[in-house]
A and B are shown apart, each in its own frame.
Chain A
Amino acid sequence: MYIRNFTYLEPKTIEEALAMKANLGIKSSIIAGGTDLLIKMKHHSINPDFVIGLNSIPDLDYIKINTDNELVIGTMAKLTSIEESNEIKNYFPALAHSASVTATVQIRNMGTLVGNICNASPSADNATPLLAYDAKVVIMNQSGNRIVAMDEFFKGPGKSALETGEIVKEFILPVPSKMTGSSYQKVSTRSKVDIAGICVSALISLDKDGKIAKARIALGAVAPIPFRVYKAEELLIGKIPNIELLKEASKIAREESTPISDMRSSADYRKAMVEVLTFRVLEASIQSATKKKN
């Protein structure tokens, strides 16, 4: 399992990295933690001539709340830091949870959240929480920054909105309103270590009358990309939550999923589990939103 040799480039600033990426285009790959990239290079499914390391650019691993009350996660923030961040645990518990059940301790110490998303795997553990939290992806290129909404970022298995020559700078997540609950659940064979067979996130905000003011349901590993179930979200808006309503939304999630059968799970099992997990994450989100109301 050898990796084909390459030239390693070590930019010291983001501008330098962008210039390298613009010059070298598809002959080059960005490496963050390397836990996805190096495996592909070992399997020779990618053989870049140049590898551009972001390791030596200082201070890219920030996790902070900015003055607009948004959480900003820098490109080199490791999954372990996501899992342990107090801001994320407090305001974005579904993301803290998904990070804590991604891979193993070692891989979480190495791998970044940005790498998990840029890899654009349909089963990326942290994709559905970012969809549920309306994350924005800040993408840099030599002419400046552009922002892509999370639900427009994934284009297909392994494909994203990133163009050649672009680098992700950070994610921005608006801090949810006070009466909000959110939840993440996954099913996989070898518990944590394994890639998710199915993963689901939800977010529910209630208004002062207890009606659903905002709803997000996002599914992973059951379609070519992680996606939001808009139809089920719309069903929930303006209603007082009850079990029948959540069941109906969960059924829509099942219908909207188009899973395949593979070594991890069969398509039928995945569909059945989408319904079960959607119900559970909705129930958990509503419970925690209700608690904050009282």
Chain B
Amino acid sequence: MSKVNVILKVNGDLYEVAVNPSKTLVEVLREDLQLMGTKIGCQTGDCGACSVLINGKSACSCLTLAIESQNKEITTIEGLAPSGEELHPIQEAFVKEGAIQCGYCTPGMIMSAKHLLDKNPTPSELQIRQAISGNLCRCTGYARIVKAIQVASEKMNKSAKES
């Protein structure tokens, strides 16, 4: 039961790391790839803090084995603002609408919002609430988070029309 070499494609970059097969994706992201944006909360799929996109679909990286994440496109919160300067419209809306307090839930919330808006660019409030029902926030309350996702969706649709 030794380590195995795993090749992961995260935010478009390829990484090769030697890991125990028992390591979860979130552990490898944070400990081996130093991508600390993805958070660890419950470790059991309940809180959504560890949400990432795997082949465009939101998933809990705490319940995904790194070894099973090979040959897939993984997107983490870092991938939404690759330059580190210009924020993604969803991130911008979270900041502007005050949808962040401690910020611990935010990366996971934003990945769930991204999954939703990629699938459905004009969601209703109910659809937004359903889409983030797997993400817990212990500080902000959900009203501002929902508002931020609405604002982001409007902005993204507007710039899609313009381009």
Interface residues in chain A, defined as those with a beta carbon under 8 Å from any beta carbon in chain B: 1-8, 31, 34-35, 38-39, 41-42, 49, 51, 53, 55, 80, 103-107, 109-110, 191-193
B71 — nearest CB in chain A belongs to which residue?
A56
Question: What residues of chain B lie closer than 8 Å to A104, measured between beta carbons?
Answer: 45, 48, 133-134
A34-B68 contact in complex given A8-B21, A105-B58, A106-B112, C-beta closer than 8 Å: yes
A8 and B67 contact, CB distance less than 8 A: yes
Residues of B within 8 A of A3 (CB): 22-24
Classify the secondary structure of A's interface with B. mixed
Q: Are A39 and B133 in contact (CB under 8 A)?
A: no
Give per-residue flags for B38-61: 1 if the beta carbon is below 8 A from chain A beta carbons, else 0: 000001111010010010011110
Q: Which residues of A contact B134 (CB under 8 A)?
A: 103-107, 193
Q: Which of B21, B48, B64 has the most CB of A within 10 A?
A: B21
Question: How far apart are the CA atoms of A191 and B43 in the complex, in Å?
Answer: 21
> Could you tell me which B residues sit within 8 Å of A by CB distance?
1, 4, 20-24, 43-46, 48, 51, 54, 57-60, 63-65, 67-68, 112, 115, 130-131, 133-134
Cβ of A106: which chain B residues have Cβ within 8 Å of it?
45, 48, 51, 58-60, 112, 134
- Which residues of B are found within 8 Å of A109, using beta-carbon distances? 54, 57-59
Residue of B nearest to A54 (CB): B68
Could you pull out 14 A-B pairs where Cβ atoms are within 8 angstroms?
A8-B67, A38-B24, A39-B45, A39-B63, A53-B65, A53-B67, A55-B68, A103-B134, A105-B112, A106-B60, A106-B134, A107-B63, A193-B133, A193-B134
Q: Is the CB of A105 within 8 A of B131?
A: yes
Which of A2, A4, A106: most chain B CB closer than 10 A?
A106
Q: How far is the CA of A35 from the CA of B61 in the complex (A)?
A: 11
Contacts of A103 in B (CB 8 A): 45, 134
The DSSP consensus for interface residues of chain B is: mixed
List of 3 A-B pairs having minimum Cβ-Cβ separation, nearest first: A104-B134, A8-B21, A3-B22
Given A105-B133, A191-B133, A193-B133; A5-B63 close (CB under 8 Å)? no
Given contacts A105-B131, A107-B134, A110-B60, 12 further A-B contacts (CB under 8 A): A3-B24, A5-B22, A31-B65, A34-B68, A38-B63, A53-B65, A103-B45, A106-B59, A109-B57, A109-B58, A192-B133, A193-B134
B residues less than 8 Å from A6 (CB atoms): 1, 21-22
A105 contacts across to B, CB distance below 8 A: 58, 112, 115, 130-131, 133-134
